[in-house]
Amino acid sequence: MTAEELFPVVFAGFVVLCVECKTITRAPIPVRWIQSTSGPGVTLYACPAHAVALGAGPSPEDELRAP
């Protein structure tokens, strides 16, 4: 076992990977929501620099619900 395995880096707060540049961001902005057929949907996030270029995609509120 290595020291990295024994003591992994832990980030405080809500951090995610940007879908565009694949870097960790502490200020994620939701840009896409993907419906899943076998469970809850997945929200994709972008860093503030790429969120404007990607634009807002469908969110759970945008999806049409069957009556």
Q: Distance between CA 14 and CA 57 in Å, rounded?
A: 21
The tokens describing 11, both together, are 């980030």
- What local confidence, expressed as pLDDT, does residue 63 receive? 62
Q: What is the pLDDT of residue 42?
A: 87
Model confidence, pTM:
0.64
Determine the pLDDT at residue 51.
Answer: 87
Q: What is the pLDDT of residues 46-61, one digit of tens each?
A: 998 888 888 766 666 6
Query: Do residues 35 and 41 lie in contact, with contact meaning Cβ atoms separated by under 8 Å?
Result: yes
List of the chain residues with pLDDT < 50: none
The residues pairing with 45 across neighbouring beta strands, listed in sequence order, are 30
DSSP 8-state assignment for residue 48: H
What pLDDT, on a 0 to 100 scale, did the predictor assign at position 57? 63
Name the residue with tokens 């996030």: 45
- Residue pointed to by tokens 């945008």: 62
